[in-house]
Each structure stands twice: as structure tokens, then as C-alpha cells.
Amino acid sequence: MGNILCCVKVEQSTVAIKEGFGRFEKVLQPGCHWMPWFLGKQLAGHLSLRLQQLDLRCETKTKDNVFVNVVASIQYRALAEKANDAFYRLSNTKTQIQAYVFDVIRASLPKLNLDDAFEQKNEIARAVEEELEKAMSAYGFEIVQTLIVDIDPDDRVKRAMNEINAGLIVTQC
């Protein structure tokens, strides 16, 4: 019915991209808008302004040659004032974010021993967030929070470390 009446509805926490004859015209805010399709006007799509989370798992190795899986959570959102860039400049936001996260993690962890990696989780997260913020702000996205949720060594390494710790406890008694 909206197409017949030339009206479109934009939901809350969303913006819509209006085009005229295939060219960007303006960003439509939430509400009801006049869209005369017979004059070449059309809706190119919608863009959510809600906070989104991307959970990633990256395998790398530490300075002491221990392979670890690093689990990171990235919270981000599109900026309403840069909706044009966020809609048109990236075809796959999640893949782009993943590439930057993997790059920073794989550059940071090989410089640290396993124990240091656990101690410096916040510094690694800060480095990832700074790099992402620089890169993604050009595309109309804000990085809200970056967390290194877990650093998970290989199971054999965990067992070996537990055996060493168990041996130390026995010898101290």
C-alpha cells in the first residue's frame, strides 16, 4: 500500500537511504516519508543504528611458540551523520573489522610470552580498538568497545602447565 501512496516508513533506530534515478539523494530519519517512485525516487536500503557485536576467534602463536586462540568481541555501530559512508563505502563491514582485528592480534601476540599475553589482555584490546577506530571512522562506524575475552592455549599446553604446577605443589609440601 505504501508504494501506491508513495510513502515509506523508517523504523526507530534505523535510517533509510533515498536515491533519485540511482543516485544518492539523502538519508531519511525514522518516520513516514514521501517517496514518489514515478519521479524516479526509490529506497536503496536501510541501515541499523543499533549497537552490534562481532565475536571473533583468531589463532596465532606467542613468542615462546605456544599456539593460542584469542577470542575478541567488538561492539560497533553506524553513525547517523555518516550513514551515507556506512551504506555505500563498505560491502561487508564484519569482514573488514575482522581483517583489522586479526592484523593487530597477529602483530601483538608473537612479541609476548604466554604469561605476558594473559597479563596484557587490556593493552592488546586497546591496540585493536585504536586501529579499528582509525580505520572504521572513515567508513561511518564508531567502535564502542573492544574486549579480549579469552586467550586459549592448546589443550596439550594446558595439561603440561597443570602437571608442572601440580609437581611444584607436591615438592613444596
Residue 11 parent element (H or E): none
Which CATH number does the domain housing residue 86 bear? 3.30.479.30
Q: How many domains does the chain have?
A: 2
Write down which residue in 12, 27, 48 finishes a domain.
48
The model carries a pTM of 0.83
Look at the block and give the residue holding cell 586497546. 126
Is the domain of 82 the same as that of 132?
yes
15: left (phi over 0), alpha (psi -120 to 50) or beta: beta
> Tens of pLDDT along 137-149?
999 999 999 999 9
> Tens of pLDDT along 89-133?
999 999 999 999 999 999 999 999 988 999 999 999 999 999 999
Is the domain of 87 the same as that of 125?
yes
Q: Is residue 169 part of a domain?
A: no
